[in-house]
């Protein structure tokens, strides 16, 4: 069974025992997280599609760690002004292990 969930403005396709990196969540490491914005559940039978979310469906995961991703480097330059700027950014993320998918109704 798999599910498509929405969190942090992005969509992820997950299965049980998957490890996914999502936008930072406020929960502590080791805590259980319930994600109820489930867009689709599929598997052996025909997929169930929500409009936009499936009523009563939940994906349960456990927070493994919080960390920062790879550095993204940027550079801006304005010609004829001799202005240039280098910058970098590292985005925070939460790593989750998906434990259960409850299809709901």
User: pLDDT of 14-42, one tens digit each?
Assistant: 999 999 999 999 999 999 999 999 999 99
Asked if 17 contacts 59 with a C-beta cutoff of 8 angstroms, the reply is no
Q: Cα(34)–Cα(100) distance, rounded to whole angstroms?
A: 10
DSSP string for 31-86: -EEEE--EEEEESSSPPEE-SSS-TT-EEEEEEEEEEE---EEEEEEETTTTEEEE
Does the pLDDT of residue 104 top 90, yes or no? no
Q: What pLDDT does residue 56 have?
A: 93
The verdict on pTM exceeding 0.75 is: yes
Cβ neighbours of residue 31 closer than 8 Å, sequence gap 6 or more: 62, 63
% of the chain surpassing 70 pLDDT: 100
Q: Cα(43)–Cα(34) distance, rounded to whole angstroms?
A: 20
Q: What pLDDT does residue 101 have?
A: 95
User: Hey, how many other C-beta atoms are within 10 angstroms of the C-beta on 92?
Assistant: 11
Q: What pLDDT does residue 19 have?
A: 97
Does the pLDDT of residue 105 top 80, yes or no? no
Q: What pLDDT does residue 44 have?
A: 82
**Mean of the pLDDT values across residues 89-101?**
97
């Amino acid at each position: 069974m798999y599910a498509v969930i929405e969190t942090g403005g992005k969509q992820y396709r997950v299965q049980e025992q998957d490890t996914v990196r999502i936008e930072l969540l406020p929960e502590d490491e080791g805590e259980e997280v319930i994600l109820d914005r489930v867009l689709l559940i599929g598997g052996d039978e025909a997929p169930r599609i929500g409009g936009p979310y499936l009523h009563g469906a939940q994906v349960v995961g456990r927070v493994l760690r919080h960390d920062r991703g790879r550095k993204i480097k940027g550079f801006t330059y304005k010609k004829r002004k001799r202005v240039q700027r280098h910058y970098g950014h590292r985005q925070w993320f939460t790593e989750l292990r998906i434990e259960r998918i409850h299809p709901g109704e």
